[in-house]
Structure 1
Amino acid sequence: MRAVIFGASGLLGRSVLRAFADTNVTGAGFRRSNGLVRVDATSASDVERLLDRDRPDVVVNCVGERRPAAWASTPDQARGRNVDAARVITESARQRKARLLHISSDYVFDGKSAPYRPNDRPSPLNVYGRWKLLAEQVVLAACPDAAILRLPVLYGPAQFAAETNLTDIARQVSLGARLELDDVCVRYPTHVDEAAEVCRRLAEALLHGQCTASVIHWSAAQGFTKYRLALVVAHRFGLSDERIRAGEADAARGDRPLDCRLVCQGLPAAFGSVHRRPFRTEFPSVVEPWLLSPRPVES
């Protein structure tokens, strides 16, 4: 199998690249690092040049901008990464008859009627959710046989503390910062390596004609609020929780889903079992490098 992973410099993209390591795979990122090919995923010429060179069987699109600060400070750029890149990659893959796996988000739902099945009607609350839904529509309009994988919030080995909500919260807890964290909105943190394994399985299913659903869900089953995550971290590492307070900041904004629990349906019959990674077993090794660490909080 020949594969190209767009967005391979990001949290999910790095893990997906590792999951495809035994194939003929190329990782593409906006910045050339760690052997990646530099590609602007919003540039048709950049994308087409790479696909013409590598002639992949499968293309995985992990490109996206999930940071709220970027939605507000550089909305055009953020929209480009979430929507325009999807359009360019999809059209280029279709023209070259490569199968496409596109990564989307549980934020396409408003969180008022969980749990959500793949065929439930989306109703995003914020600009990020609207962009992700628009990207899904763009993908399926241009390439009806593409697979769209919706994922919840991810955690895993981070390159900087603010790369994931979990490591960012853990860093603040370890510094003894005064925190008031939302205790209303529930999230389902899923290990990035687990999500990457699902991507690999779906790619194989696409190639063998075993993937019949256009939209597929994958998620961990256990939910946490940000406040509960902070307490779990504090208790696991013997840190004080006296300065951590429960609040309603995210819920009060009105543009954050309350509960987007996903029903994992639509998986191919030949998919096989995926190694589930229990949060309480996996999170300590992920956050420990960022506890009272001199590494940068953001990049």
Structure 2
Amino acid sequence: MRAVIFGASGLLGRSVMRAFNDMTVTGTGFSRTAPGLARADATSADDIDRLLGRAQPDVVVNCVGERRPQRWAATPDQARDKNVDAARLLAQSTRQCGARLLHISTDYVFDGKAAPYRPDSPPNPLNAYGRWKLLAEHAVRAACPDAAILRLPVLYGPAQFAAETNLTELARQVGARAPVELDDVCVRYPTHTDEAAEVCRWLAGALVRGQRLGAVAHWSAEQGFTKYQMAVLIADRFGLPAGHIRPGEADAVSGDRPIDCRLDCRDLPEALGTVRRHFTTEFPPVVEPWLLPAEPISTLRKDFHAPCV
């Protein structure tokens, strides 16, 4: 099977590349490049057409998107391009080249007032990111009707910079030991990128085999935490003080963050088997490098390790 992964330099894309490593796979990057990746602008129809023409893929996975609030608030036009226009162009080109498409979306298309959400639950996004991702879903469906859309919650995994994931940013705040107030109302379901990548692999294979899939699929970890709860969990796990961390309501009060967007994933687990990873055992190696923010990762003490579970 030949696959093209757009956004392969990003958090999820890196894991998807590893999950697809026994296939003929081409990964792309643009704002962030890495050895072995093809440079392609997912907002350029010419770039997409040229790459797909060369790769002749059986399946395309779209991991392109800008989910970080500080980025899409500061440059909304660019964020919209990455989240909506890129989705439309990729869907159009994928259909034209005869490949199947797996498009990644988000639980933020829901308002968080009626969890758990089924794939056919009515969406009602509260913020710009959720609205863009919903528009992207509509654009994908219009351009490529047989595409599969996978909605995922907040992801965590090996990060290249602290702000790349909510979890590693929380670890930085725990390690800094400066007073900080963290939301203790909105519940998140942090899901490991390797787990999400295995789901992508299964869905991509099912698409290529011609297996009938629903238009939208959901996948999520089962454990839910607020930001405050995750920070305290990090501090407890590494024996660090947590007195500087205070519970608050900032995200909930803002009105643009869903309280609870838990996804109903019952349609997939039976087929996927045992791909689930448990947050409480998986997060320590992810956050460990970011607990000493004043030091580069390469200079962290070699004897600084998480206690054994």
Whether TM-score is above 0.5 comes out as yes
User: Following superposition of structure 1 onto structure 2, how do residues 132-281 of structure 1 map, counting pairs within 5 Å?
Assistant: 132-267=133-268, 271-281=271-281
1:270-298 Cα offsets, whole Å, 9 max, x none, are: x33142110010000110111114138xx
Q: Which stretches of structure 1, 4 residues or longer, exceed 2 Å deviation after superposition?
A: 265-269
Which residue does 1:289 correspond to in 2?
A: 289
User: Following superposition of structure 1 onto structure 2, how do residues 108-119 of structure 1 map, counting pairs within 5 Å?
Assistant: 108-119=109-120
- TM-score, normalisation: structure 2: 0.93
Q: Which amino acid aligns with 1:76?
A: D
Contact 2:105 2:152 in 1 (8 A): yes
C-alpha deviation, 1:107, in angstroms: 0.2
C-alpha deviation, 1:33, in angstroms: 1.4
**Residues 268 and 161 (structure 1), Cα distance of their counterparts in 2 relative to 1, 3 Å cut:** closer
Cα separation, 2, equivalents of 1:266 and 1:100:
19
User: 1:277 is paired with a residue of what secondary structure?
Assistant: coil
How many residue pairs match? The answer is 295
**Residues 48 and 55 (structure 1), Cα distance of their counterparts in 2 relative to 1, 3 Å cut:** same
Q: Which amino acid aligns with 1:115?
A: P
C-alpha deviation, 1:32, in angstroms: 3.0
Q: Which amino acid aligns with 1:3?
A: A
User: 2:132 is paired with a residue of what secondary structure?
Assistant: helix
Contact 2:199 2:272 in 1 (8 A): no
C-alpha deviation, 1:161, in angstroms: 1.0
Contact 1:109 1:125 in 2 (8 A): yes
Cα separation, 2, equivalents of 1:266 and 1:43:
35
> Structure 2: where are the runs of 5+ without partners?
298-309
Cα separation, 2, equivalents of 1:76 and 1:176:
36
User: 2:272 is paired with a residue of what secondary structure?
Assistant: coil
Q: Which amino acid aligns with 1:291?
A: L
User: 1:100 is paired with a residue of what secondary structure?
Assistant: strand
Contact 2:4 2:61 in 1 (8 A): yes
Cα separation, 2, equivalents of 1:37 and 1:104:
23
**Residues 260 and 77 (structure 1), Cα distance of their counterparts in 2 relative to 1, 3 Å cut:** same
Which residue does 2:24 correspond to in 1?
A: 24
Contact 1:161 1:171 in 2 (8 A): yes
C-alpha deviation, 1:35, in angstroms: 1.1
Cα separation, 1, equivalents of 2:289 and 2:269:
37
User: Following superposition of structure 1 onto structure 2, how do residues 3-42 of structure 1 map, counting pairs within 5 Å?
Assistant: 3-30=3-30, 31-42=32-43
- Taking only the aligned residue pairs, the percentage that are identical comes to 71
User: 1:211 is paired with a residue of what secondary structure?
Assistant: coil
1:196-249 Cα offsets, whole Å, 9 max, x none, are: 000000000001122320100000011000000000000000110111100000
C-alpha deviation, 1:170, in angstroms: 0.6
Contact 2:8 2:17 in 1 (8 A): yes
1:76-126 Cα offsets, whole Å, 9 max, x none, are: 000000000001100000001100000000000000000000000000000
Contact 1:160 1:295 in 2 (8 A): no
Most deviating of 287-296 and 153-162: 287-296
User: Following superposition of structure 1 onto structure 2, how do residues 40-59 of structure 1 map, counting pairs within 5 Å?
Assistant: 40-59=41-60
Q: Which amino acid aligns with 1:175?
A: A
Which residue does 1:130 correspond to in 2?
A: 131
Contact 1:210 1:268 in 2 (8 A): no
1:152-171 Cα offsets, whole Å, 9 max, x none, are: 00000001111100011011
User: 1:115 is paired with a residue of what secondary structure?
Assistant: coil
Contact 1:71 1:128 in 2 (8 A): yes
Most deviating of 95-104 and 65-74: 65-74
Q: Which amino acid aligns with 2:172?
A: R
1:147-202 Cα offsets, whole Å, 9 max, x none, are: 00000000000011111000110111011121100000000000000000000000
**Residues 114 and 268 (structure 1), Cα distance of their counterparts in 2 relative to 1, 3 Å cut:** closer
